[in-house]
Amino acid sequence: MKRLLCLLTAGLLAGCQSAPLPPLTTVPQVDLDRFMGDWYVIAHIPTWPERNAWNAIESYALNPDGTIATTFTFREGGFDGELKTMTPTGFVTDTQSNAIWGMQFLWPFKADFRISYLTPDYGLTVISRERRDYVWVMARTPEIPEAERQAVEEHLKASGYDLAELRYVPQRWEATP
């Protein structure tokens, strides 16, 4: 009887699972030197610390050992809010494409970081995660044209992201930071 109850419960729980998402497609190749530099965060499905970010910028610099020094800065809650800074380290895990990284905020854990969209001029990118729980749309400029916004949203939708969770990051700059 116990065994039957366990099997029934397991069957019911298995039926409650959602269908697994297909593997996330990344760009075929990333030139790391071109990818380095400042990126304005245009939109995101944010992690907890950045859920109220304004004027968010992610900056990358390639270290001599191949790791990526990362600096993420933003204002908390408004253009005049407290300046917050995070400095994780990136590790390229797919050296064939350079499109899959681990991003380490706290040792020994590395977060999944996948470059799933990148324009040929390296002006706009999307950083995705296999789980589709977070995403970052970033550009070399604080604003992007409407056509590019629509193309990115179509990419996100096709990748399995819920656009209702997407938050556009307020950006306002008097001068280039």
In a domain, 138, yes or no: yes
Q: Is residue 62 exposed (0-12), middle (13-18) or buried (19+ Cβ within 10 Å)?
A: middle
In a domain, 15, yes or no: no
Domain that holds residue 142: 23-168
The alpha carbon dihedral of 144, 150, 151, 157 has a sign of positive
Mean pLDDT within 113-137: 97
In a domain, 38, yes or no: yes
pLDDT at 111 over 90: no
Beta bridge partners of 57: 40, 73
In a domain, 97, yes or no: yes
pLDDT 10s digits, 134-158: 999 999 999 999 999 999 999 999 9
Q: pTM of the predicted model, to two decimals? A: 0.86
The structural domain count of the chain equals 1
Total residues found in the chain within this entry? 177
With bands split at pLDDT 50, 70 and 90, how would you rate the model's confidence at 176? Answer: low
pLDDT at 92 over 80: yes
In a domain, 8, yes or no: no
In a domain, 116, yes or no: yes
In a domain, 6, yes or no: no
In a domain, 125, yes or no: yes
CATH code for the domain of 147: 2.40.128.20
